[in-house]
Structure 1
Amino acid sequence: MLDNRLNWNAHIKYTSKNIIKSTSLLKMIKCTFPSIVLKSLYHSLVYPYYSYCNIIWGGATKTAQLPLVLLQKKCVRIICKARYLAKTGPLFEQLKLYKCNNL
């Protein structure tokens, strides 16, 4: 998806809306399932949005990608059952996940 200025804002907005749905699902079931199941759900529900054509839209500016980065951090905190403001660097390493910028 490209907008009238040939940038990726429309695609990132569309992708963010879809990721928010999956994130809220993860949040609802985080108390019921262990982290390993939540990570599997992340890989099946959220990760495909990050990996699909990321070579193309990954060249968008960092400010345009910020909503996707924040949503990924939120997902990682949910999977690890961490606090709202917990640092995500160690959590990414613990789960062995790549950050949005490194995909």
Structure 2
Amino acid sequence: MRSIDTDCTGATLGSILGILKGAEGLPDNWIELLGDEIATNVRTGGLKNLNAPTNLQELTEQVHTIADKVLNYWNSDVKISSKGENSHRGKSIEKLANSWLKNIHRIV
């Protein structure tokens, strides 16, 4: 990887740390520097007809809603929750782990 466009690398790292550890897992100076707001060019007319979230809480709620719909549609064994309880809808951990082995290219 060339180091020409490194903002994506930092964003990916921050996203992964946030997913795994929550906001508490991010360094304080990152949170202080970046804050909670999401900046887009919606206000200047760059993106038309887009209802973009303005902060991380709105984004998280939208992603959770969509993810839950997708998981339910595909009858997934996974359930998203804020504290991890019932995260596998009563299925065994082994069955949940086996779901990662499914062929995503197979037509259902």
Does 1 or 2 have the higher relative contact order (CA < 8 Å, sep 6+)? 1
Superposition TM-score, scaled by structure 1 size = 0.27
Greater C-alpha Rg: 2
**Higher helix proportion, which one?**
1
Superposition TM-score, scaled by structure 2 size = 0.26
